[in-house]
Amino acid sequence: MAIEALRPPEDAPPPTKAVYDGFAYFQGKIVPFAEANVSIGTHALNYGTACFEGIRGYWNAEQNEIYLLKLAEHYQRFLKSTALLKIKLDESVEQLCELTREVVRRDGYHTDVYVRPLAYKASAMIKVDLHSPEDAVAIFAMPMGAYSRIDGLRVTISSWRRVSDNSIPARAKITGAYINTALATEDANAAGYDDCLMLTEDGHIAEGSAANFFMIQGRTLVTPPVTDDILVGITRAAVMQLAADVELDVVERSIDRTEVYQADEAFLCGTGVQVAPIVEVDGRAVGSGRPGTTTLRLQEAYFRAVRGNDPRYRQWCTPVYGGMPRIT
């Protein structure tokens, strides 16, 4: 199958498209999206005391199915994030998975989708702590194609440092922490770049603005360790498995910024960006200045797996429309 057939369909909108319809899980039940509203006094809105996940759903037209990628793994990480913020939820991983399938099913999409679970401090309180008496969870979905280009990114090393795990936990997807991403991305885009790489406080490569980073030297993939202020990415783990399955070496170690300039290949990976080759860093070509052979091989393997077209990775894929009973 040609890789063009595995990439996001052209009718899937970009992430800048606002959501106005569909359904959401909100206050313990599934309601029309327009009814899922919170007070302007909500603690999470005022202080960023919330955490979230991003979950991709991939449409397979031949099988008439949306496959939600690594659904249980995302919710396992989600509950670890809630624990850091002392958010207590009644829903288990299994219940959150079933609720997600039902929301997407009721939406009725036949394209790639992006699912956003959100757990938050829900009380209307003007006090900066984690003692809000009311916690809440919401889940909604939207159609989404490519989050960023996947045919070659031009990036820069950001002047904004990646937030330290001792400042805001890097291993949790905490909403307030993403101002770090917004500041770095805004500067990179204003300077004409597609994205950026962010450094740790001691000057090592951490990750992209909102994606994990890999570079390739020969047949070795090198990626920053979990101790270098990175999100422990679910897509990162998937790519590492794909690499091991084609007998590439994978090394987790700290990376100096100048190593990136001399890499044979480089790419970002994550739920949003998927597998996106980097062809230029700070005006310097990475390798040949075109997406590298190994990166494209991993990209093709990834798209084949997430659309349910590779039986070796079917356990990654949870069907929306088939195989399980509806929630009533």
Q: In angstroms, rounded to a whole number, what is the distance separating the alpha carbons of residues 187 and 176?
A: 19
CATH 3.30.470.10 intervals, the chain: 3-143
- Structure-model confidence comparison of residues 14 and 121, the more confident one: 121
Render 98-125 in DSSP notation, one character per residue.
Answer: HHHHHHHHHHT--S-EEEEEEEEE-SB-
pLDDT for 15 beyond 70: no
Structural class in CATH, domain 153-311: alpha beta
Q: Confidence class of residue 133 from pLDDT cuts 50, 70 and 90?
A: confident
Better-scored residue on pLDDT, 149 or 137: 137
pLDDT value at position 143? 94
pLDDT at 328 over 50: no
Mean pLDDT of 269-273: 95
Which CATH class name applies to 3-143?
alpha beta
Q: What is the pLDDT of residue 19?
A: 73
What's the mean pLDDT when you consider all of the chain?
93
Q: Judge contact between 75 and 64, C-beta under 8 A.
A: no
Instruction: Name 317's bridge partners.
Output: 69
Q: Which residues on adjacent β-strands are paired with residue 299?
A: none
Q: Are 210 and 239 contacting, i.e. CB atoms less than 8 angstroms apart? A: no
Task: Considering only CA atoms, give the Rg of the chain.
Answer: 20
CA distances from 132 to 34, 50, 90, 310 (A): 25, 11, 16, 45
Name the pTM for this structure.
Answer: 0.92
Place 305 in a pLDDT band, splitting at 50, 70 and 90: very high
Q: What is the mean predicted confidence (pLDDT) over 29-56?
A: 97
CA 297 – CA 70 distance, rounded (Å): 21
Residue 32 has pLDDT above 90, yes or no: yes
Share of the chain above pLDDT 70, in %: 93
Q: Which residue's structure tokens are 């004409």? A: 192
Question: What pLDDT was estimated at residue 205?
Answer: 98
Helical pair 234-245 and 293-306, crossing angle rounded to 10 deg: 110
SS3 for 69? strand
- Asked whether the beta carbons of 113 and 142 are under 8 A apart, the reply is yes
Range(s) of the chain covered by CATH 3.20.10.10: 153-311
CB 279 within 8 A of CB 285: yes
Residue 37, pLDDT score: 96
Beta bridge partners of 126: none
What tens digit of pLDDT does each residue of 68-100 get?
Answer: 999 999 999 999 999 999 999 999 999 999 999
Cβ-contact 301, 252 below 8 angstroms: no
* Mean pLDDT on 9-29: 76
Residue with tokens 């994990």: 212
Of the candidates 287, 142, 268, 265, the residue with the CA atom closest to the CA atom of residue 194:
268
